Amino acid sequence: MLTDTIHLVEDCRIALQRVRSSLMDLFESEGVNPAVPQEIAKRFGLHRNMAWKLSRIVNATDPFASLNHLPGPQGMELTLRGMEQSGVPAATTNAVRDAVETFQRMVVEHAGDREHLQLTLESMGLFESDAAAASGRELAFRGNSMVWGVQAKTRVALTILGPSANAGECDYALVSGLVGFRRLRPTARWRLYRAQMHDDHGRPLASGGHLETIDPDPPTELPFLLRGFCTAGMPAIVSFDGPDGREFCLPGGQVGNRGAFDCFFGYIFRGLPLTRGADNTHGSTAATITLPVESAVFDLLVHRDLPMPKGLEVSLHGFPHGGPEDPSAQTARNLLPLNEPLIELTGSPPAIATPLVPRLARMFEHVCGRMSWDATAFRGVRVVMRHPPMSSKLVMRWPLE
């Protein structure tokens, strides 16, 4: 099976590059600059849209990127005939024609049709659909929203590491939430959050610490909810202690925008180790994606009195069978493609304000006030992901010193 996958990728790369090379040779033989679509349209009498596509095929960053612009067989044939009528020798257009036919045979052999080929390459992180077309992740977001009856605009997780009272330790604060959560079906009941702390092996962290609330006088039934940042009149949420931690769930209720709301919770855990131990060699923080969301915003802020994590890695782990969600399941076999870059949050305090989470900067200041931290003493990084897949976990991980 692995050999078949390698053949598909390599055969596709070769076939696409052959199409590109034949077009480059055609443009060169006719003295046309392929970087200027207007020149292509004028010389061959082509529609400007087709000229633009041909230019993008030749100038794409890699062969797979040219897939977004490659016309179908009929469109290419009409284009080549038009070029012949404008005086291009048949020998030159036939080279392009042969390359396109070779590509089509490769598509049928490996994928059956173009749609399945692009979906396969996108699944492997080798291809990304144009913004004008829906990506596979966006289609999954729409489908999962329909199936499960819930969705949200943004999933946010803000992790803050600051100095602890004890040397060799740090204090950990988390703000987590959903912006624009809404039901699409009145019977949809959904777990919004779960509070957990684990070591590398998925066991509850044995550092002697415990979860503290961020707000000094929290409601007893929902102690970790940040009510000051939640939507006023938010639907009732129920919480209970399960085998995997404290869970916060939303019962069924009103659908659509009238029932939409923002919801945030957070907690503090003191005394996390800064150095490695026998059962804990890495530090990490994560944002679990348990429902269809349009975007994920995942931040890590570190106080200047602590070392900025070296060798920081960001990964996306999928759980196709639903859970488990602890670090012991974050193995290479569960990795999903992740092309989003790690963005440095500059400024003092860090510029974490974003329209995806309107009051995120205020929540950071709120936590700093609770912990007696200076907000200007932090630096940080961020990952933003569009349509992150359901049943997955975004993870930032670094080796402990």
Coil, strand or helix at 41: helix
Give the neighbor-by-neighbor strand order of the sheet with 190-195: 190-195, 245-250, 238-242
List pLDDT tens digits, range 196-246: 545 445 555 544 457 888 988 776 667 788 989 999 888 888 777 766 666
Which of 334, 342, 340 has its CA nearest to residue 379?
342
Instruction: Return the structure tokens found at 282.
Output: 């890495």
Which of 307, 300, 303, 304 has its CA nearest to residue 286?
300
First and final CA of the chain: distance in angstroms?
40
Residue 302 · residue 309 · CB < 8 Å: yes
Structure confidence at residue 206 (pLDDT): 47
Coil, strand or helix at 282: strand
φ, ψ of residue 71 in degrees (nearest 5)? -65, 165
Q: For the chain, 401 residues long, give each residue's pLDDT as a single digit of tens.
A: 444 556 888 999 999 999 999 999 999 999 999 999 999 999 999 999 999 999 999 998 889 999 989 999 999 999 999 999 999 999 999 999 999 999 999 999 888 888 888 877 877 778 877 654 567 888 899 899 888 888 999 999 999 999 998 888 899 999 999 999 988 887 777 877 765 545 445 555 544 457 888 988 776 667 788 989 999 888 888 777 766 666 778 877 777 777 889 999 999 999 888 888 777 778 889 999 999 999 999 999 999 999 888 889 999 999 876 655 555 555 677 889 898 999 999 889 999 999 999 999 999 999 999 999 999 999 999 999 999 999 999 999 998 88
Run of H or E residues at 296: strand 293-303
Tokens 């974490």 sit at which residue?
A: 352
- Cis peptide leading into residue 349 (ω within 30°): yes
> In a 10 Å sphere around its CB, with 0-12 CB exposed, 13-18 middle and 19+ buried, how is residue 83 labelled?
buried
φ, ψ of residue 299 in degrees (nearest 5)? -120, 145
